[in-house]
Amino acid sequence: MQTIEQSMGERLRQARKTAGFKTARAFTEYYHLPPSTYSQYETGRRRCHIDVLIRFCTLLNISADWLLFGYATPQERAASPSQMISSVLSSPKRQSPSSPMASATYADKGRGSQKECLHV
The answer to whether residue 80 is domain-embedded is: no
pLDDT band, residue 108 (cuts 50/70/90): very low
Rounded distance, CA 101 to CA 93, Å?
Answer: 13
The answer to whether residue 65 is domain-embedded is: yes
pLDDT at 17 over 70: yes
Q: Residue 60: phi, psi to the nearest 5?
A: -100, 0
Q: Which pLDDT does position 72 carry in this prediction?
A: 73
Rounded distance, CA 12 to CA 43, Å?
Answer: 9
DSSP code, position 103: E
Rounded distance, CA 15 to CA 93, Å?
Answer: 38
User: What pTM did the predictor assign?
Assistant: 0.61
The answer to whether residue 16 is domain-embedded is: yes
Say how many residues make up the chain.
120
Rounded distance, CA 81 to CA 75, Å?
Answer: 11
The answer to whether residue 83 is domain-embedded is: no
The answer to whether residue 81 is domain-embedded is: no
Per residue in 36-54, pLDDT (tens digit) is 999 999 999 999 999 999 9
Domain count, the chain: 1
Q: Residue 14 sits in which domain range?
A: 4-69
DSSP code, position 95: P
The answer to whether residue 102 is domain-embedded is: no
The answer to whether residue 119 is domain-embedded is: no
Per residue in 78-93, pLDDT (tens digit) is 565 555 555 546 655 5
* 8 A C-beta contact, residue 115 and residue 106: yes
For residue 15, the domain's CATH number is 1.10.260.40
The answer to whether residue 115 is domain-embedded is: no
- Residue 8 CB coordination number (10 Å): 23
Paired strand residues for 118: 103
